[in-house]
Structure 1
Amino acid sequence: MCGNDLIFIYLFSDFTHVNVGIVNGTEAKPHSRPYMVSLQMNKTHVCGGLLISDEFVMTAFHVCYHDGVYSPVLTVVLGAHELQKKSGNLVRIKVESYHQHPDYSSKSFQNDILLLKLEKNAQLNDNIKWISIPTEEGDIEAGSVCSVAGWGRLETNGKESDRLMETNVTVMNNNKCESKWTKEDFSASLMMCGDSGGPLVCGNTAVGVTSFGDPDLCNSPELPEVYTKISAYLQWIKSIIGNVN
């Protein structure tokens, strides 16, 4: 998926480097990723997120940031696979509160992370489960094959997919990523790189959330997608929601 159809919607007037996407993906087995949620406005999908406890969803801060204005008007939809299909299994929960990282920068995309507290706890079942996050700070080994998933376009400016899609990605060496993006854009302590876009999951653990990529080309060979490294924010996360593992 590309553009505004992944784990985050990109609502900036300045599209310097926010286009990310899943390309060459396949449809996920329905409900095989029960942690994936659709964040919606007026019952329309605008972005995705990760359920990391029975009452908190993680996404990027700029999902709610448009033209310099913070506009958090979202409903969380759990248990979804095909978004337009009316199903009694879908659960809609309003967001009670929004917790953005206080040091988020719209220029550098550093600290691009947001926690959404649900109005009520999610009732877990086969289609709705939360995913673990790292328990300690650390890097994912370069060359590791992980996976991403999301709803939306399958190529740059291409046709949208209503069903959850997935693909594998390879984690890139931090030095190589920094050489492609420059130190001004890429911070190895707070970010990591892969070869496609979306919520980054390694094994059974969510390790990254999509932050930015090439503004013109999904899955660019020259400018790899960059993820906010979840393990770099454990103290901040625990200060808001406690230990979820």
Structure 2
Amino acid sequence: MLISRNKLILLLGIVFFEQGKSATVSLPKAPSCGQSLVKVQPWNYFNIFSRILGGSQVEKGSYPWQVSLKQRQKHICGGSIVSPQWVITAAHCVANRNIVSTLNVTAGEYDLSQTEPGEQTLTIETVIIHPHFSTKKPMDYDIALLKMAGAFQFDHFVGPICLPELQEQFEAGFICTTAGWGRLTEDGVLSQVLQEVNLPILTWEECVAALLTLKRPISGKTFLCTGFPDGGRDACQGDSGGSLMCRNKKGAWTLAGVTSWGLGCGRGWRNNVRKNDQGSPGIFTDLSKVLPWIHEHIQTGNRRKSSRAWCGEQDVIVSGAEGELHFPESLHLYYESKQRCVWTLLVPEEMHVLLSFSHLDVESCHHNYLSMYSLEDRPIGKFCGESLPSSILVGSNSLRLKFVSDATDYAAGFNLTYKALKPNYIPGSGCSYLTVLFEEGLIQSLNYPENYSDMAHCDWIFQAPKHHLIKLSFQSLEIEESGDCTSDYVTVHSDVERKKEIARLCGYDVPTPVLSPSSIMLISFQSDENGTFRGFQATVSFIPKAVYPDLNISISEDESVFLET
């Protein structure tokens, strides 16, 4: 039953008056989590069993931490508020990155069929999925943290649930509650009004034994099982992401688990071996198993808001012979929009840098990208898309990385390792790495003068000094001949976006030198699976622009260029 407004004001007034009696009386802490203004009836076994079998509609305001995740105003999952900016839900609810930008989170929700006073709806700023969660095995570590774009205002109908204390566990036999707008019957319709059900926690042995009776036994490290062997009541489709709530020793509602999955809804599992419509306990993600991870990320997220140094806006120096660089700081964290992040990477002098991507997920190439520059701010290239680029060998001991996010797309950023290498340049290195060079040199196909291999792919990017052009001069060329040079061929571009092709070569005649009208030249060699030849060898030289006064440098000194993947 809800407390009336007049009674609530009177109660608060009495507390204030009592506190004001003496300056030596310390102010009691206001209940910060797990508090409901609705009076809950004392538990007894008759009450518990009747509610499980029949189910019940909750009174508005009973669970102010309960939220509804909606895609285009349609409820898809539940969740629990744990602070003004953070919500906990199931990872499988937000595993599809393509829908995250279409999700809203509504707190103070009670009846899905109408918008009611007290509802608060926010969009999602950041999603953090547990790193051990996998869509190939979505039952284990099924938990995600959602950081809101904004903050919930706590009142009668919106407030946080408590997280467990470290080492706090709710033992087998403890009766806890779950709530949601899930289906009222298996394959039935979603409930419009928030429902609740009480469920007992099972022992780990009971849980394992029940899951072993399935035709395809399932195991996991974060399971918390609830329910009755004969079935009757359970969470169901649409309840995913909601909370398993238990009262702690202080009487505050505490988040013990996150609704994850179950075989069927309310099916028993006592006679699984002898029936086709097998059932399982209700499976929740056990908060006690992932609590350190939750605290780590929520605390990190709160600190970020104030310092923002994590983004590297002021050119963070990253140095050493080898290491790792990733953005955002943790995997499975989506980067935010409207960011500028700068890192300067330095390896020991007279060494070159080898970069290897283990992860790249950058959305729109025009709005979100990772760009690379020399320390003189000469552009090396930009990386975007989702497919991993090859390893990149940079012929310098330093480079600057800039990450830009202008759009509101959600993506997971990048993860790369760097390593210092001795500058032992090999002319065929472009066939092992994307090779970026700032000096003149010799290039050749792999194995030259022996035959190149089938399905070869080689790339070199040359960056000339300011006010210079680049000339490519061939010493030899023996590449399978085809009329349009689409089988085996060398291409030359004056940009790394591959939009400005200035030469496409194949056959057996040494061509005239190729001149790039810019200070950048991308040289690529590709072969198919039908026959191989000796390949090619060529030199790259830098020519002062004054030698060719009629040519205009097509890329300004500070203009960037794309290398889409």
Q: TM (normalized to structure 1)?
A: 0.83
Deviation at 1:228, TM superposition (A): 0.4
Q: Does 1:186 align with 2:216?
A: no
Contact 1:177 1:186 in 2 (8 A): no
Q: Does 1:24 align with 2:73?
A: no
What residue number does 1:209 align with?
A: 258
Deviation at 1:88, TM superposition (A): 3.1
Aligned length: 218
What residue number does 1:220 align with?
A: 267
- In structure 2, relative to structure 1, the CA distance for the partners of 1:138 and 1:220 (3 Å cut) is farther
Deviation at 1:139, TM superposition (A): 3.8
Cα distance in 2 for partners of 1:186, 1:173 equals 15
Contact 1:146 1:171 in 2 (8 A): yes
Q: Which has the higher contact order (CA 8 A, sep 6+)?
A: 1
- In structure 2, relative to structure 1, the CA distance for the partners of 1:191 and 1:76 (3 Å cut) is same
1:210-238 per-position Cα deviation (integer Å, ceiling 9, x unaligned): 12210xx2112111111100111111111
Contact 1:23 1:219 in 2 (8 A): no
Cα distance in 1 for partners of 2:266, 2:192 equals 20
Give the SS at the match of 2:134.
coil
What residue number does 1:229 align with?
A: 286
What residue number does 1:92 align with?
A: 121
Amino acid at match of 2:127: Y
Cα distance in 2 for partners of 1:235, 1:143 equals 25
Contact 2:95 2:135 in 1 (8 A): no
What residue number does 2:244 align with?
A: 200
- In structure 2, relative to structure 1, the CA distance for the partners of 1:62 and 1:202 (3 Å cut) is same
Deviation at 1:137, TM superposition (A): 3.6
Deviation at 1:160, TM superposition (A): 2.6
Q: How does 1:145-184 map to 2 (within 5 A)?
A: 145-182=175-212
Q: How does 1:58-73 map to 2 (within 5 A)?
A: 58-66=88-96, 71-72=99-100, 73=102
Give the SS at the match of 1:143.
coil
Contact 1:137 1:232 in 2 (8 A): no
Contact 1:95 1:119 in 2 (8 A): yes
Give the SS at the match of 1:152.
coil
Cα distance in 1 for partners of 2:226, 2:132 equals 24
What residue number does 2:559 align with?
A: none
The gaps in structure 2 that reach 5 residues or longer are 1-51, 228-233, 248-252, 270-279, 303-565
Cα distance in 1 for partners of 2:260, 2:196 equals 18
136-145 vs 165-174, which moves further: 136-145
Cα distance in 1 for partners of 2:99, 2:287 equals 24
Cα distance in 2 for partners of 1:213, 1:153 equals 13
Contact 1:23 1:218 in 2 (8 A): no
Contact 1:23 1:155 in 2 (8 A): no
What residue number does 2:534 align with?
A: none
Amino acid at match of 1:220: R
Amino acid at match of 1:219: G
1:100-158 per-position Cα deviation (integer Å, ceiling 9, x unaligned): 01110234321110000000111100100000011114542111111110003111112
Q: Which has the larger radius of gyration?
A: 2
- In structure 2, relative to structure 1, the CA distance for the partners of 1:98 and 1:23 (3 Å cut) is farther
Aligned alpha-carbon RMSD (Å): 2.1
What residue number does 1:103 align with?
A: 132
Cα distance in 2 for partners of 1:144, 1:152 equals 23
Cα distance in 1 for partners of 2:153, 2:113 equals 22
Deviation at 1:89, TM superposition (A): 1.8
Deviation at 1:62, TM superposition (A): 0.4
1:60-109 per-position Cα deviation (integer Å, ceiling 9, x unaligned): 1100235xx65323111011111122223211111101000111023432
What residue number does 1:12 align with?
A: none
- In structure 2, relative to structure 1, the CA distance for the partners of 1:136 and 1:46 (3 Å cut) is same
Task: Report the identity percentage.
Answer: 30
Q: Does 1:142 align with 2:172?
A: yes
Cα distance in 1 for partners of 2:208, 2:192 equals 34
The gaps in structure 1 that reach 5 residues or longer are 1-21
Q: TM (normalized to structure 2)?
A: 0.37
2:295 pairs with one of 207, 221, 238: 238
Cα distance in 1 for partners of 2:157, 2:259 equals 23
